[in-house]
Structure formats: structure tokens, C-alpha cells
Amino acid sequence: MITIETAPIAGQKAGTSGLRRKTRDFMEPRFLENYIQSILNAIGGAKGKTFVIGGDGRYFNADAIQTILRMAAAQGADAAIVGQNGLLSTPAASHLIRLNKTDGGFILSASHNPGGIDEDFGLKFNMPNGGPATEAVTNEIFAQTQNLTSYQTMESPAVDLATRGQTSLGDMAITIVDPVADYAALMQDLFDFDAIRSLFEGGFRMAFDAMHAITGPYATTILEDTLAAPKGTVRNGIPLPDFGGGHPDPNPIWAKELMQTMMADDAPDFGAASDGDGDRNMIVGRGAYVTPSDSLAVIAAHAHRAPGYAKGLAGVARSMPTSAAVDRVAAAKGMGCFETPTGWKFFGTLLDAGKVNLCGEESAGTGSDHVREKDGLWAVLMWLNIIASTGQSVADLMTDHWQTYGRNYYSRHDYEAVDSAIANTLMDDLRAKLPTLPGQTVAGLTVSGADEFAYDDPVDGSHTSGQGIRVMFDAGARVVLRLSGTGTQGATIRVYLERLEEDPGKLHQDAETALADVINAANQIAEIADRTGRAAPDVKT
Ligand code: VG1
Ligand code: CO
């Protein structure tokens, strides 16, 4: 073991999901080592512990894993379980942490952010329950980064990550595992694979876009090799260090090719995509894009059709900016329903306590208590199970859903790489005027309430404030504004827009049209165009 002197590096503070920076920042001397040491210090050291290690395969993935292995081995860790070639999707890593009853895991990913030496890299620590470090642990890691004086590592040649089986580093045992096998077995336990296989054997066609990211091998094994989907169902299925130069974010903007395929006359029956690290999903039927908020609500209504959820759901949880569509299903079915801050780390206590077994976010994250992360392929398989069990198309499922529960029209507008000072002032000024808003009429909508979201965790009692500004209007309309916590450049302002429609004759409008008044109201209240100088958002999802 060697001890290397170091000094704190400013700003090593995790955002919504771990620490994300430009890849070159992570490659700076001591940057990665400092952060790993801070994590190990925050959890009481590595001695005697077992960790799961893997990432989404982006540039610097394998190098970072070697650094973690050396530091863990030098500091007395018992064992490491590493995905072959350093690959593990985020949900598969969460599953391995739980399955092997380990002490946590290191996940290397900047998720939906582009990869490559000039793009983004990230690292996050997950806890023994398989979920992202809680706010308390995240804060302790940050405190450690600010007081660091040294780290411990060892000198050794690189561990061979390509060969499955047992190896070691110093006294630490290392198992290189098939990244897919245990995860695929878990999916087989949860879903009716026979029914889904019959669907494909009956000629059902699907397009799955892995976006050159981590889900390629998972989707190929599960969809094509196990469920008999035709070869070629999985597109862009080989993970690349730069994701083929793309932006591995599964939404209609970044998964444009898939959208074109699904909107064409000869479209397949079903389309789906996942993100860089495999925890997000996009669901699209022939000619029918499903918003993530609606997807969550549909799953809540139909989850009992999948064998793993046959007993029904105890409760559901959604992040605050996610639409209230799932709340309406929960109310109708008598399920518990919770509203949490943005980020999967806030679902962990509710899942562990058995209060909820389905969670979701408007940002294309859906998952259940089978792991403690959102899970892209899980959501896709859930939809396939629902389609196989109901015999309905995606479009028909959506129409039925809206007729039963009403439709929460929804859109998110992102203003990216805004000057941080401008974005912060916009939020500060908006916060200051919240008390004056109720009763005012803006763009024809009357404000019924306005506040800044704070959360009291009903399980561990922790309090989290400053989680987004929300303005509620009469008739079920709402605007939410918050600043992104995953970007690496300037500030991203996210504007979340929603309006409930219960008139059966108005359930099939274009979302942006249906939300026109809400969009105008948001812009007037927050003065977005004036302050940012942007006439329109960069991305609408
Ligand atoms: C975004 C999403 C949030 C999600 C987070 C991590 O955070 O809005 O819902 O949990 O990314 O997703 P933010 O702070 O930029 O809005 V992922 O796929 O990076 O693990
Ligand atoms: Co992700």
C-alpha cells in the first residue's frame, strides 16, 4: 500500500445522480482518486468489504475501474465483483449489489450525457440496498472531499477485465462476471416470457434502439435470443466509448431515427430505446409516442398482468415534476401515492419499507422494487407483457387509459447551457414573487397556489428543501421550474408543463397545442425569454 499526499479539489459535489464532469476533468491527476477516497472515508473505509464495480462503457470507463480496484485492494477490501470488460448497466449493477449482499457499488456513468474524451464522465456510489447514496451519505462524501489530505493505493499492472472468472489484486479477490446473465434471470422471474415469446412468434414486430450504449448486449440476449424477436430488432446494439457520437438520451429528439421508424406507414408494432447506462426508457407504439408520465400511469393500471406483480401494487411514487396521471390511477385503485424530489435516491426508503413497489420520473425513468434504480429494459418488458396480456396496441391502450382516467397533457421545455448567474437570478426572483401569485390571472389561467417544493421523507424523517418551484392553476394545470443537477456546462432550466383534460372529445390533441396557455403563463411568470434571450427552448420532450 502506498499513501499519496493530496489536497481538496473544490466543487466535488454530487448532483442529482453522482458526480458528473467533463471527462478531461476526471482525467486530471488526483481528481478521480480524491473522489474515490472521499467515498471510502464516508462509508467507514473499505476494510473487509465487497463492492460491485462497472460502468456504461464510455471513454475512461476501464481506466477508472482499474483505479478503483487498486484503491479498494490497497485499503483492505475483501472482494470485488466486476462486469466483464468493465460493463454493467446501472440496473444490473443495482441487482448484483443486492443479489450478492455486498457493501455497495461504484457505477461509472454520466448516463444520458454524451461520452468521449471531450464529453462527459461520471461516478456514483450505490449503497448496500442497491440504490444511489442517500442525501446524508452524499453530503458526507462532499464533506470528505473538502478535508482530504491523502489517499491510499497500490502499484500493480492492470487487472484483466476481459476474462470471466476469478482473479485477484493483492489480497482482494476479484470475480469478473457476465454483465447480462443475472439480470436476464431476474427479468424472467418477473415477466411472462412465454406470453411475450408467443407474441413475437405470432409476427409482432419491434424496434429497440440501444443508442450504441450499454443496453445493446442486454436487449440482444433478452429480446432476440430468449424471447424470439427477429434478428435486427435491436439496433445500434454494440456499446461504443463515444456512443457513436450521439446523445444517448431516449426521447423523441435524441432518438429521432427510432421516431421516424415508428411514425412511418410500415412502422413496427412497438418501439423502445434506452439511455447511456440503461436506466431510462422510451416507449412508442406505431404512430403513438407515450410520455414517461403516461407510461408510469399505464404500468400502474396494468402491472398485475405481469407475474411478478400479480398481487397488485401496494403503492406508487413519482418525482414532483412528473405528471399527476399516476395519482389518478392510484386514487382509483386505492394504492398509496407519494411525491418525492427529483432523483432516484429519494425512492429508496419508500421501496425498502414496502410502501411502494412502482416508481417513476417524467425524465423517462421507471422502475420497481426488483432493484433500487430505474430500469429501462424492465419498463420495455413490462409494456411487452401488458401488450401480450391485453392483446391491445399501444395506441389503443392509451386511448382506453385517457377515457378512463382523463389525460394529463404534459411537456418539458429545457433551456440548456444558460449562463449560471442569469439562471440563478431567474429562480431567485421567481421565488421572491411566489407569495404574490395566488389569485392572479396569467394567460387566462388563475393561480391557485405557488410554492417551492420541500420533502419530508415519511420513512427516515429527513428533510430536503429547495426542490423546484411550482405554480398551480385552477382546473388541474401546473408549471414547475427547476435547475438541472446533471449538466456539466452552465445551467439548464427545466420547465415542466401540465394540464388535465377530462372532456372525452378533447383527448387527442397535440400536447404543445393543448398546453399553449400553460406555456404562455410560464413564460410570463418567469420571464424566461426576456432573461435568457432565448425565443424557444433547446429541447422539448
Ligand atoms: C435528470 C432528470 C432526473 C433523473 C436524473 C438522473 O436530473 O431530470 O429525473 O433522475 O437526470 O437520470 P436533472 O437534475 O438534470 O433534472 V440518469 O438516467 O442520469 O441516471
Ligand atoms: Co441513466
222 contact partners, CB below 8 Å, separation of at least 6: 180, 184, 187, 377, 381
Distance from Cα 31 to the centre of ligand 2, integer Å: 23
Does the beta carbon of 360 sit less than 6 angstroms from any atom of ligand 1?
A: no
- DSSP string covering 8-58: --TT---BTTBEEEEHHHHHSTTHHHHHHHHHHHHTT-STT-EEEEEE---
Same fold, 183-405 and 407-540: no
pLDDT, residue 487, reads: 80
Question: Confidence class of residue 475 from pLDDT cuts 50, 70 and 90?
Answer: confident
What pLDDT, on the 0 to 100 scale, is given for residue 485?
Answer: 87
Residue 16 in contact with ligand 1 by CB distance below 6 A: yes
pLDDT for 327-372, tens place per residue? 999 999 999 999 999 999 999 999 999 999 999 999 999 999 999 9
Ligand 1 contact via 124 beta carbon (within 6 Å): no
| End-to-end Cα spacing for the chain | 50
Residue with the smallest CA separation from ligand 1 atom 19 is 111
Tell which CATH architecture fits domain 2-177: 3-Layer(aba) Sandwich (3.40)
**Cα-to-centroid distance, 276 and ligand 2 (Å):** 6
The predicted-structure confidence for 97-112, as pLDDT tens digits, reads as follows 999 999 999 999 999 9
Question: Among all ligands shown, which has an atom nearest to the Cα of 89?
Answer: 2
Please name which of 53, 69, 85, 63 lies closest in space to residue 239, comparing C-alpha atoms.
85
Secondary structure letter of residue 112 according to DSSP: T
Model confidence band, residue 46 (pLDDT cutoffs 50, 70, 90): very high
Q: Cα(172)–Cα(198) distance, rounded to whole angstroms? A: 46
In 475-534, DSSP assigns E strands to 477-483, 491-501
Residue pair 206/171 in contact by the 8 Å Cβ criterion:
no
pLDDT higher than 90, residue 127: yes
Distance (angstroms) between ligand 2 centre and the Cα of 227 equals 25
Percentage of the chain surpassing pLDDT 90?
97
Q: Where are the domains of the chain?
A: 2-177, 183-405, 407-540
368-421 per-position pLDDT tens digit: 999 999 999 999 999 999 999 999 999 999 999 999 999 999 999 999 999 999
Please list the active-site residues: 111
The span from the CA of 289 to the CA of 303, in Å, is 20
DSSP label at 278?
S
How far does residue 113's CA lie from ligand 2's centre (Å)?
Answer: 8
Q: Is 308 in the pocket of ligand 1 (CB under 6 A)?
A: no
Q: What are phi and psi of 352, to 5 degrees?
A: -60, -35
Please tell me the number of the ligand nearest to residue 275's CA: 2
407-540 classified as CATH 3.30.310.50: yes
What is the C-alpha separation between 476 and 499, in angstroms, rounded? 6
Is 347 near ligand 1, meaning CB less than 6 Å away? no
Please state, in angstroms and rounded to a whole number, the distance separating the CA atoms of residues 469 and 269. 39
CATH class name, domain 183-405: alpha beta
SS3 string of 140-198?
A: HHHHHHCCCCEEEECCCCCCCCCCCEEEEECCEEEEEECCCHHHHHHHHHHCCHHHHHH
Largest Cα separation within the chain, whole Å, is 71
* pLDDT tens, position by position, 478-517: 999 999 988 888 899 999 999 999 999 999 999 999 999 9
**pLDDT tens digit string along 159-190?**
999 999 999 999 999 999 999 999 999 999 99
Q: Is 184 helix (H, G, I), strand (E, B) or coil?
A: helix
